Amino acid sequence: MAPTVAYRDTIALLTLGDDENRFTPDWLDQVNALLDEIEGSAQGLVTVGTGKFYSNGLDLEWLLANGDRSQWYVGQVQKLFNRILTFGLPTAAAVNGHAFGAGAMLAIAHDHRVMRVDRGYYCFPEVDINIPFTPGMAALIQAKLSPRAALDAMVGGHRYGGQQACEVGLTDAAVAQAEVVDEAVARLATQLGKDRGTVSAIKATMYASVTEALTISYS
C-alpha cells in the first residue's frame, strides 16, 4: 500500500504504508506530495505505519543497485527530515512498531513521539551495519537527545523497547497499541490553529544548525 492520508477533524493522519515502509524514491515522492496537501488543508500532522513497522528507513537494496545516485538519494532523505523538523504544523509520530535507522530519524524529527509499549524497537543500527551517520543525521539525533542518550543510541546501536525509549527521551509516551494514534493526536490538541509561517520560522530558528547540516551535507 502506498502512503495515504485521512483526517481526524483538522489533524491529518499520514499512513506511511503497510509493509516496512522503506524510503524508495517513489515513496519519497508520494510522501512529499501528501505533505503538500496537508500543509494547505490541516492544522496538525500525525504519521503512523501499519502492523509491525513504523519504518525501516533507507532502501538499501536500491542504494546497492544505484550507487552512482547515492548522494542524490541521501539528499532527498535529508530534505524530508528537514521538512518534518521545520513543518509549519504541529507534528507527532505514532510509532506503531519497529522504527530503525532513517525510519527512527524520521520519527525523531517530529515535535512529539508516541510509541507502542509492548512490541517494536526504536533503534539506530548504523554502527552494526558499518554505515556512519552523515553530519546532518547526527545533528538531528543529537538535537533531540541528551549527550548520554545520543552516545548510547548512536555508538551503542541499542534497541529500545517502548518504555525504555520513553525513559531516554527518544519518545514522549509509551502506550497500548490501540492508544498510539489517539495519544499522538491528543498531544497536538493545544497547538492547533497557529500561523503556519510563524510556526515554521520558529522551528527553523530553533534547529538552525541541524537544518544547515541536513541541507549542506548532501546538497
Q: What is the pLDDT of residues 115-131, one digit of tens each?
A: 999 999 999 999 999 99
Q: Is the pTM of this model over 0.95?
A: yes
Q: Phi then psi for 176, rounded to 5 degrees?
A: -65, 155
Domains in the chain, start-ordered, CATH in brackets? 4-215 (3.90.226.10)
Q: Tell me the pLDDT of the chain averaged across its residues.
A: 96
Please choose, from the candidates 134, 127, 181, 179, the residue with its C-alpha nearest in 3D space to the C-alpha of residue 155: 127
- Please report, rounded to a whole number, the percentage of residues in the chain having pLDDT higher than 90: 97
**pLDDT reported for residue 216:** 83
Q: What is the pLDDT of residues 187-200, one digit of tens each?
A: 999 999 999 999 99
